[in-house]
Amino acid sequence: MTAEAMPGVDAFGLTDMGKVRTNNEDHFVIASIRRSLTVHHTSLTDQTPFEEMRSAEARLFVVADGVGGRPGGELASGTAVEDMLEYMAEIAGSFNNHDVEREHEFLDRLEAAVRHAHDRILRELGTGGHGPSTTLTMVILVAPRAYVVHVGDSRAYYLHAGRLRQMTRDQTTGQYMVDLGAWTDAQAARAGASANLTSAVGGSELEPAIGLVDLEPGDVLLLCTDGLTKHVSDEQIAELLGGAGDAEAACRGLVGAALDDGATDNVTVVVARVLA
């Protein structure tokens, strides 16, 4: 998807099965959410307010990674992305002109969207949290503010002034133990159970994490599944995001770097550059 399709944002997404897996359990989506208002005829001479309302848009970016080792991971991630699209379409317009006092209501809606997808997966694909499940990382960009909803170990980053910052925290056993101070990062990397998810959409536990950050022109968003971060370091990610001419080139460079390192998992990336 190009800047022409999304004014003010240059966005692109790419997914690859990798070099080991026989199917792709990742899914992603890039979308615009526009409030529907078109004035066909009016006696008012100043139509600036109508222009602002017609042009108001939010950007939606989602990546989901079906949990490996469980049947139906691809179905779970696809269902989650599909459900998020349907739910966000139902509440389109709630992102417009929300002030600080009502911002918590908007965040509540985003968490409700994740729980809605969770309930749908439990209802349609599994029972008791033991059926298919998926990670989910979603960003709603209502310029200049980016709202992040996160479950699992897919990640969101942003590059600002050449510095890469991670917006999410992995919901895994390893990260939990590191946060407790029981393990070092090196110990977590070696532990066999380190990558086990402590929260997943459709899983036995669901703990959506909500955050936000204000972006500036030139900043670059990245959403990715762990198929990228298993093989590509933060330093290399920053270099590829900062050196690419556009979002598509950045995506192809990131996926290519994971493939060059062996790509033992599915690899999915979504990149969005905030234009000046």
pLDDT at 221: 97
Domain of residue 79, CATH code: 3.60.40.10
Over residues 256-276, the pLDDT tens digits come to: 999 999 999 999 999 999 997
pLDDT at 50: 47
- Asked whether residue 173 is domain-assigned, the answer is no
pLDDT at 251: 98
pLDDT at 254: 98
Alpha carbons 148 and 5: distance in angstroms, whole number? 22
Over residues 136-180, the pLDDT tens digits come to: 999 999 888 999 999 999 999 999 999 999 999 999 999 999 999
Residue 10 reports pLDDT greater than 70: yes
Number of domains the chain is built from: 1
Q: Does the global pTM surpass 0.95?
A: no
- Asked whether residue 17 is domain-assigned, the answer is yes
Range of the domain at 121: 9-168+199-274
- Asked whether residue 188 is domain-assigned, the answer is no
User: 71 vs 114, which has greater pLDDT?
Assistant: 114
- Asked whether residue 182 is domain-assigned, the answer is no
Cα radius of gyration (the chain) = 19
Residue 107 reports pLDDT greater than 50: yes
- Asked whether residue 181 is domain-assigned, the answer is no
When pLDDT is averaged across residues 66-89 and rounded to a whole number, the result is: 85
- Asked whether residue 38 is domain-assigned, the answer is yes
End-to-end Cα separation, the chain, in angstroms: 18
